[in-house]
Structure 1
Amino acid sequence: MADPAYQRQDLRQRDIVNHAISVQESSNTMAAIEYLKSRDIPPDVIARVLLEPQRRRGALPH
């Protein structure tokens, strides 16, 4: 389990990022990037979650 201090605290952003990961898996990375950009997710977060999956934060329950 991820360190609680490192887990995402913004539940809205969590849901957006989780949806983008689903978009990436079912469609493609560019579609996921455009989705995240349209939701004002910071570029560093976009790069981390889509291009470096090993660096994703632990999932929080819905």
Structure 2
Amino acid sequence: MAEPDYQRQDLRQRDIVNHAILVQESSNTMSAIEYLKSQDIHPDVIERVLLEPQRRRGALHH
């Protein structure tokens, strides 16, 4: 049975957000913000994951 499309979208967004967190750690917050904007990530999500790390949904595994 195939998984619904929205689940793939969630995984894609997770991967984008995780990449942005790495960009923030290695470069700066503005670069991470611009990357997330270019990927059409909602501004509320951008704010939560980059400016309020304690509110992230899951831990990033390095």
On whether the aligned pair clears a TM of 0.5, the verdict is: yes
Max radius of gyration: which structure? 2
Shift of 1:60: 8.1
Q: Which runs of 4+ in 1 moved over 3 A?
A: none
2:18, 2:60 within 8 Å by CA — same for their partners in 1?
Answer: no
**What is the root-mean-square deviation of aligned Cα atoms in Å?**
1.7
Q: TM-score, normalised by structure 1?
A: 0.80
Q: TM-score, normalised by structure 2?
A: 0.80
Percent identity over paired residues: 89
| Structure 1: gaps (5+ residues) | 1-8
Q: In structure 2, how many angstroms separate the alpha carbons of the residues matched to 1:14 and 1:46?
A: 12
Shift of 1:35: 0.0
Partner of 1:29: 29
**C-alpha offsets along residues 10-39 of structure 1, whole Å, 9 cap, x if unaligned?**
000000000000000000000000000000
Partner of 1:6: none
2:29, 2:50 within 8 Å by CA — same for their partners in 1?
Answer: yes
Q: In structure 2, how many angstroms separate the alpha carbons of the residues matched to 1:60 and 1:28?
A: 17
Is residue 54 from structure 1 mapped to residue 30 from structure 2 by the alignment? no
* Bigger relative contact order (CA 8 A; separation at least 6): 1
